[in-house]
Amino acid sequence: MDAEKKALVFDVVCAGFAPAELDGWNALTGFSAWSEYLDACETIANDECSVLTDVLASGELMALRHPLGFEEVRAFAARHFTGGLPQSAVPVESLYRAGASGVPAYDGISARYMGDLISSMELDVPERLVSTPDHVAVEAGLAASLYRSDESLADSFVSERFTWLADYRLALVALHDDDRMFFCALIDVVLALVECVRSRKHEAISEINLERK
Amino acid sequence: MQFEPIWGVPIALYLFLAGLGGGAFIASAFVHWKNPDAEVTRKAGHFIAPVVVAVGLVLLMLDAQGGFHNPLRFALLLHNLGSVMTWGVIFLAAFEVIALIAAILEIVKRAVPLWLEAAGSIFGVCVGAYTGCLLGVVKTFPLWNNAILPVLFLVSAISTGIAAVILASLIAAPKEAEELDELKGFHYWMPVVELVLVVAMLFIVNSAGDAAHASVASLLSGAWAPAFWLGFIVIGLVGPTLVETYLQRAKGANERALGIGSEAGVLIGGYLLRMMIVMAALPITLTVAWL
Amino acid sequence: MARYGMLINTKKCVGCYTCVAACQRQNNLLPSEQFIRFEERETGVYPTLNVETIPLQCMHCEDAPCAAVCPTGAAHIGTDGIVQVDQGRCIGCKYCMAACPYQVRVVNEETGTVDKCRFCTVSANDGTAMCSCVEACPTGARIFGDLDDPDSEISKAIAETNAQPIAGDLTKSKVFYVR
Amino acid sequence: MSGNAISRRGFLAGTAGVIGAAGLAGYMSFDAWEQAYADDSEKHGTVSTVHSLCNGCSNKCGFTAYVVDGKLRKLIGDERHPMAKGKLCARGYAYAEIAYSKDRLTDPLKKNDKGEFEAISWEQALSEIGDKVKEIVSSDGPGALMMVQDPRPSGSYYAKRFMAALGSPNVYTHGAACYESRESAIKQVIGSNSWTSDVANAKMTIFIGRSYADGLRPAALMAVEKAHEAGSHIVLIDPRFTNSQKFADEWVPITPGTDLALVLAMCQVLVTEDLYNADYVAANAVGFDEFRQNIAQYTPRWAAEKTGVDETTIKRLAHQMAEAAPACSIESGWRGPSGCQYKNSGELARAVACFNALLGVYNQKGGALLYPGVSAGKLDETKFPSTPKPQSAQVGSDEFPLAVDGSALAAVKAADEGKIKGFFSYNANMVGGYSNPSYLASVVSGCDLSVCIDVQMSETAAACQYVLPDTSYLERSELPAFASGAVPSVSMRTQVIDVVHPNTKPVDEIFTELAKACGVGQYFDFTMEELAKAQLASVGVDVDAARQMGTVYFNDKAFSYGTTPKWKTPTGKIQFASDACRQAGYEATPSWVEPETMPMGNELRLIEAKQPIHSHTMTANNETLMGITKKYDLTRAWINRSFAERLGIEDGDTIEVSNEKFTGTIGVHVTDRIVPGALYLPSAYGVSVKEQHTAYGVGLRPADFLAFNLEPGYGSTMSHEACVTVKKVNA
């Protein structure tokens, strides 16, 4: 699976979970672009190490085929990606990992890592995400950019960074909102992709060992 | 102050299985010596021993979260020779090696040398007694901190070991089971000894301060009373003894079923003994009695 | 080589839990990791009553039963007699938790290792004021210091009030109580 | 196709989402980073210190925050701060976790038609609220707006100024559920709202329904400890044997709601046995004759029957106080029986003030001190224009004329009658506990406009249309906090850590922008720092020095013993008799008033009080504090041992507590530490908002058992006027 397809998967997550502008979203979900994305999902699904097909519930498959419009994405984000509500599922990594104080809280260890990483790579983050550098949109955006620059580096970043999405998916599924299926689908695609990248990485490592023996 | 037991079912199961493994090996060594032709029974004993001890060790590792997160640390277990647990690890390691060798020899149909049976049995006794000492040295819990506990655990270990072996032979080779008279003879008296030991222990512990009294009370009349009276005393000790006495006189038709029932009772009683001792014990009262 | 100890005056303890909250803040502990536990004794008959709150924490015993039983050497008596738990060696077998007669050791749910009061008052690493239990107690019920130094505040206080360990000679405890 | 639709510039170092070589070189894996970070986290961990004020309760103790790499590490109480004196309490250390709390509000919220909250932009929130306010002001006048705020340094100034700018006088504190009756009644007697008992130097101090060790202010707790060690005679009159028993000599258990009878009888003893300071009374007081005649009826025998305190004790206490005078006082109380809990709270506060007057203890060493305070002087009118005088009287001031701060609950009644259309709340949770939560929630959500400004979702926020996210107290600097005291002082809250959520705003910015949206921006044409600088300059203090020191003292205004205070009453004298009280329907001089309700048969009076680790429900969502609550089962109700035995209830059982308003089950602590006729519930639990994951569903809330009913004349919530029945629930 080529790097551009992987980058596209992360572009969609990046735009979906931090909806900013109408045209940005429409560009991604336009017929040609979206079929490219579905094609990427297809390749992931067919990849022998991925378990995407049985993970994708029927609802999710249907949702993937008809992506939500920008207004629906923005409204979903307004209802569920804001903090302090029972129906909140804020997509920030440190909220799904017990931090130093043992309680999931903002500014956890993943936030400090991503913050240091972004500054050392001289990248800049949109103003409203600057305080949550481990927001899924920031991590996905970085992954997409990495895939367009250095695939092996991207692979190692992706295999390390996105394991928390499984816990996040549980929070998403628990929401009483039909549109959640679309967002769960985006997450499942990433999880499946990460799974492939991780298992491919192990094979790569084991091959190297074989050669060395 | 509500007291939450420090160790739970995994550790109780570990203590039970470690003891049972030791006892099973000793039983199969005995069978090897006294009933050479009881092939299946001996093999059963030699297979049970390493397997149950291995299961016990896995349970121990699962419960020791710190080690489970970084397994290399288990190597450090040999650091403090003053700790009973370090000795326990040494005995268990030695015993497991011997038991595995014995099991492999059985598989490749080579005779298990007598010296190996003897060494295995000695380590079997050590493993059985160590579990009692592990708790015995702890002053915090009067129910543990007495000289009888290691003996009680050893007797229970051998008793449950024999029970497992007899149970296996009753199931796999009923004919051989009928020949095991000496083994059954020993086994007949073990629950009686255990009963005497338990009564003596609880009697002495009961007078060792209010934490001790509270622990004994919780066994005899408190939350653990059903498990103690029904599970341990009736099913674990008295039941098997009655059945064995009956079986010795009347070799009735359903002798096999009754035998299986009584051996199973001993095993259940053995596990309940460990669980109750571990989880019913209350710590020394500093200022306020633990409820 | 100092021999650090603590004095706790339960006649001044009003049961306000400030010490355990400050300890958690000073040592960045989990909410479930409470290095101080409290026993409360209500005596007397209505209406003439007395309620005693007794804070209990690691006594840093000189004959520490925890160190004696710890198979990996994680629990050990460190410099200046402070009983420490090497988080790098602890496998979380909880044997020390059983062996400690004061029941003051807790499991760190995240790492699975066991930890307890570290007498952090002595090691203010960044050289600044402490918010350990001793400094935080609003009624000044705690004194910390070197038991080997006869002129230290704690030595004098122990002598003056004839402070005793909470459980007599159960262990050679280095925490003394005025009750 | 650009890699990033989410941002204008996004991560682009180069074009089309490609990272240049330099950028890639900066990459480090998590393990590498953790290794590097762990190694020199100590070395490069730059420690900075900042003075701030705790927000755990209204004491606002000063502390020094130690910050390493932008993250808060530890807090040390400031020695110089008058309330802290070097110490904080458990809340001080633990409440700091709010900054990174998972349950924090991060964006302005608005309820959609399905009643669910949705994040909206600040622009949308401000313009919609602004239009609504202008609509209400034009149709019903500014008097149809109300604001409830629990005073904090910036909050109390900005909230008041915002409403005043709009012309509305309806700004209320939490007083009606805390101190209203006490401060209003004391003001009727001595012209000041309260006094501070000089406990440390007193020969004897009586505490009525007040525990310095539960409602914990470190300085006060240290004072009562010092008094105890100096042999001062400390008496606790309370239905409960509270934590202050450690420093007390005597517990006088009393039937709840009857403290007034006890104090009246003690006054009677002083007057009839001529033990009062006649010269002092003659020189400083009016209406004493009327008081003397009226008080005669309240004999100790009469009081003994009312209070359950035997006659000899009542007489003895009066005699001992007379002996100890003037180095003695009855402590003023806080939220207790004189604050807001009974129908006779106001009268109790008046009786206590009169008792102290009889012994002439005001401003005496060891007595009741009226501490001087300093407040900001006149500011430059051009920069800080004074707001217009409101045309209408404050809502509720007609029905409750005595209320010194006004009663928020009176305004709620008016809102229920449609007179109030716009509701604002800042740093306060009225719906959560001022009176019956379901009633208050219905009134607030019934308003045309309801806005709540808070740091996390609360019962009040959940009832509102709009919720605006405040920063936590650690992420903002605030106006100077002036405090009266032996030496009046001013303390500063300075920003400790960077703002965690970019879409949250500090309170001063929120009100400034709200004012602009409502068209009264001209009164907010300044920044908080400019105002702080001006306020401090007006009293000769430099703002940077103040922020550097944390607390600055005005030694020239220090208090001195023996000075006779200027009685700021209408008569300029201590008023044993008060016209205002007479007009409000009370006797001129303090008289017995029967509580609203008394427990009958097996009923118990429900009493609630603070625990040292909580500030009512505000700290319930804190992991560390709730960890302590859960470990020691602090949610348990208390009932008296002999009463429990009659009903076959044992310690640790679960009981059902019920009355006509509410029914709930809770664990019970059977103890001698409470009088037989009462059931005690801690006031910190029973949070009913799911958003507070840690607090939700833990324990019972006393306010649920309370009917909405206000104390005549004062408008307080009468929080103990509820009786309940209990029965064992088989587990």
Q: What confidence tens digit (pLDDT) does each residue in D596-616 have?
A: 999 999 999 999 999 999 999
Q: Does residue A135 contact residue A20 with C-beta atoms inside 8 Å?
A: no
Q: Does residue A53 contact residue A60 with C-beta atoms inside 8 Å?
A: no
Q: Which of B228-242, D65-79, D253-267 ranks highest by mean pLDDT? A: D253-267
What single letter denotes the amino acid at residue D65?
A
Q: Please give the model's pTM, rounded to 2 decimal places.
A: 0.92
Contact A101/C33, CB-based, under 8 Å? no
Q: Is residue B291 part of a domain?
A: no
Q: What total number of domains does chain B contain?
A: 1
Q: Is the pLDDT of residue D41 over 70?
A: no
Q: Is the pLDDT of residue B128 over 60?
A: yes
Q: Which two tokens stand for residue D201?
A: 């130097």
Q: Is the pLDDT of residue B67 over 80?
A: yes
How far does the CA of residue A132 sit from the closest CA of chain C (Å)?
Answer: 22
Which residues, numbered 71 to 130 in chain C, qualify as contacts with chain A under a Cβ-Cβ cut-off of 8 Å? 108-110
How far does the CA of residue D145 sit from the closest CA of chain C (Å)?
Answer: 41
**Mean pLDDT, rounded, for B244-269:** 83
Percentage of chain D with pLDDT > 90?
Answer: 89
Q: Phi-psi category of C80—alpha, beta or left, where left has phi over 0 and alpha has psi -120 to 50?
A: left
Report the C-alpha dihedral over residues D655, D457, D523, D492, rounded to 10 degrees. 80
Q: Which two tokens stand for residue D404?
A: 């010194």
Q: Is A210 on the interface with C (CB under 8 A)?
A: no
**Which pLDDT tens digit goes with each residue over D222-246?**
999 999 999 999 999 999 999 999 9
**Mean pLDDT, rounded, for C82-93:** 94
Which residues, numbered 37 to 56 in chain D, qualify as contacts with chain A under a Cβ-Cβ cut-off of 8 Å? 37
Mutate to test the interface with C, among B14, B62, B65, B139 (most CBs of C within 10 A): B65
CATH classification of C4-178 is 3.30.70.20, yes or no? Answer: yes
Q: Is the pLDDT of residue D583 over 90?
A: yes
Q: Is residue B93 part of a domain?
A: yes
The number of residues making up chain A comes to: 213
Rounded to whole angstroms, the Cα distance separating D673 from D680 reads 10
Q: Is residue B91 part of a domain?
A: yes
Q: How confident is the model at residue A212 (pLDDT cuts 50, 70, 90)?
A: very low
Q: Is residue D710 part of a domain?
A: yes
Q: Is the pLDDT of residue D529 over 90?
A: yes
Q: Is the pLDDT of residue D38 over 70?
A: no
Per-residue confidence (pLDDT) for residue D45, from 0 to 100: 65
* Burial of C50 (C-beta count, 10 Å sphere; 0-12/13-18/19+): exposed
- Phi, psi (rounded to 5 degrees) for D360: 60, 45
Per-residue confidence (pLDDT) for residue D334, from 0 to 100: 93
Report strand pairing: D196-197 vs D204-208. Answer: unpaired
Per-residue confidence (pLDDT) for residue D599, from 0 to 100: 95
**Mean pLDDT, rounded, for B116-133:** 93
**Mean pLDDT, rounded, for A65-78:** 88
Q: Is the pLDDT of residue B19 over 60?
A: yes
User: CB-side exposure of C144: number of CA atoms within 13 Å?
Assistant: 17
Per-residue confidence (pLDDT) for residue A208, from 0 to 100: 55
Residue of A nearest to D32 (CA): A113
Q: How confident is the model at residue D10 (pLDDT cuts 50, 70, 90)?
A: very low
Where does a domain end: D347, D372, D397?
A: D372
Mean pLDDT of chain C: 92
Q: Is the pLDDT of residue D3 over 50?
A: no
Contact D3/A144, CB-based, under 8 Å? yes
Read out DSSP for A112-181? HHHHHHHHHTT----GGGTT-TTBHHHHHHHHHHHHTT-HHHHHHHHHHHGGGHHHHHHHHHTSS-TTHH
Contact C31/A100, CB-based, under 8 Å? no
Taking the mean position of all CA atoms in its chain, how far away is CA D649? 35
Report strand pairing: D678-682 vs D604-609. Answer: parallel
**Mean pLDDT, rounded, for A54-73:** 79
Q: Is residue D721 part of a domain?
A: yes
Read out DSSP for D408-431? HHHHHHHHHTTS--EEEEES--HH
Option in C17, C135, C140 nearest D613 (CB)? C17
**Mean pLDDT, rounded, for C39-47:** 91
How far does the CA of residue C152 sit from the closest CA of chain D (Å)?
Answer: 22
Which residues, numbered 30 to 69 in chain C, qualify as contacts with chain B under a Cβ-Cβ cut-off of 8 Å? 39-41, 52, 54, 56, 65, 68-69
Q: How confident is the model at residue D46 (pLDDT cuts 50, 70, 90)?
A: confident
The CATH number for D704's domain is 2.40.40.20
Q: How confident is the model at residue D5 (pLDDT cuts 50, 70, 90)?
A: very low
**Mean pLDDT, rounded, for B195-210:** 92
Q: How confident is the model at residue A21 (pLDDT cuts 50, 70, 90)?
A: confident
Q: Is residue B233 part of a domain?
A: yes
Q: Is the pLDDT of residue B40 over 50?
A: yes
Q: Does residue A110 contact residue A134 with C-beta atoms inside 8 Å?
A: yes
Q: Is the pLDDT of residue D249 over 60?
A: yes
Q: Is residue D332 part of a domain?
A: yes
Per-residue confidence (pLDDT) for residue D197, from 0 to 100: 97
Rounded to whole angstroms, the Cα distance separating B162 from B186 reads 9
Residue of C nearest to D97 (CA): C25
Contacts of C115 in chain A (CB under 8 A): none
Q: Is the pLDDT of residue A79 over 80?
A: yes
Rounded to whole angstroms, the Cα distance separating C157 from C142 reads 11
Where does a domain end: D334, D355, D372?
A: D372
Fold of A3-212: TorD-like (1.10.3480)
Domain containing D658: what range?
Answer: 604-729
In chain C, domain spans: 4-178
Q: Is the pLDDT of residue A86 over 90?
A: no
Q: Is A100 on the interface with C (CB under 8 A)?
A: yes
Percentage of chain D with pLDDT > 70?
Answer: 96
The CATH number for D346's domain is 3.40.228.10
Per-residue confidence (pLDDT) for residue D43, from 0 to 100: 52
* Number of Cβ atoms within 10 Å of the Cβ of B37: 9
Chains that touch A (3 or more CB pairs under 8 A): C, D
Q: Is the pLDDT of residue A57 over 70?
A: no
Q: Is the pLDDT of residue A195 over 80?
A: yes
Rounded to whole angstroms, the Cα distance separating B55 from C93 reads 17
**Mean pLDDT, rounded, for D322-329:** 96
Report strand pairing: D62-68 vs D47-53. Answer: antiparallel
Size of the C and D interface in Cβ pairs below 8 Å: 123
Contact C136/D246, CB-based, under 8 Å? no
Q: What total number of domains does chain D contain?
A: 3
Q: Is B175 on the interface with C (CB under 8 A)?
A: no
**Mean pLDDT, rounded, for C55-76:** 95
User: Does an H or E element contain B175, and which?
Assistant: helix B174-179
Q: How confident is the model at residue A205 (pLDDT cuts 50, 70, 90)?
A: low
Q: Is residue D619 part of a domain?
A: yes
Per-residue confidence (pLDDT) for residue D332, from 0 to 100: 96
Per-residue confidence (pLDDT) for residue D209, from 0 to 100: 96
Q: Does residue B262 contact residue B243 with C-beta atoms inside 8 Å?
A: yes
Per-residue confidence (pLDDT) for residue B63, from 0 to 100: 92
D596: helix, strand or coil: coil
Rounded to whole angstroms, the Cα distance separating C134 from D226 reads 18
Lowest pLDDT segment from A51-55, B206-210, B270-274, C115-119: A51-55
Mean pLDDT of chain D: 93
Q: Does residue D572 contact residue D685 with C-beta atoms inside 8 Å?
A: no
Read out DSSP for B227-287? IIIIIIIIIIIIHHHHHHHHHHH---TTHHHHHHHHHHHHHHHHHHHHHHHHHH--PPPSS
**Which pLDDT tens digit goes with each residue over D94-130?**
999 999 898 999 999 999 988 889 999 999 999 999 9
Q: Which two tokens stand for residue D39?
A: 């190694």
**Mean pLDDT, rounded, for D462-478:** 96
Kindly provide the ipTM of the predicted complex, given to two decimals: 0.90
Q: Is residue B264 part of a domain?
A: yes
Q: How confident is the model at residue D40 (pLDDT cuts 50, 70, 90)?
A: low
Q: Is the pLDDT of residue D14 over 70?
A: no
Per-residue confidence (pLDDT) for residue C110, from 0 to 100: 84
Q: ∠ at Cα A33 (A27, A37), nearest 5°?
A: 125
Q: How confident is the model at residue A100 (pLDDT cuts 50, 70, 90)?
A: low
Mutate to test the interface with D, among A17, A121, A146 (most CBs of D within 10 A): A121
Q: How confident is the model at residue D15 (pLDDT cuts 50, 70, 90)?
A: very low
Per-residue confidence (pLDDT) for residue D147, from 0 to 100: 97
Mean pLDDT of chain A: 83
Q: Which two tokens stand for residue D722?
A: 């509820």
Per-residue confidence (pLDDT) for residue D7, from 0 to 100: 35
Option in C37, C126, C139 nearest D225 (CB)? C139
Q: Is residue D140 part of a domain?
A: no
- Higher pLDDT: D163 or B182? It is D163
Per-residue confidence (pLDDT) for residue C133, from 0 to 100: 94
Q: Is residue B288 part of a domain?
A: no
Contacts of A104 in chain D (CB under 8 A): 102
**Mean pLDDT, rounded, for D442-470:** 96
Percentage of chain C with pLDDT > 70?
Answer: 97
Q: Phi-psi category of C40—alpha, beta or left, where left has phi over 0 and alpha has psi -120 to 50?
A: beta
Where does a domain end: D350, D372, D394?
A: D372
**Which pLDDT tens digit goes with each residue over D268-285?**
999 999 999 999 999 999
The CATH number for B257's domain is 1.20.1630.10
Contact D623/C22, CB-based, under 8 Å? no
* Whole-Å CA distances, D441 to B40, D444, D447, D460, D461: 77, 5, 10, 7, 10
Q: ∠ at Cα D4 (D2, D6), nearest 5°?
A: 140
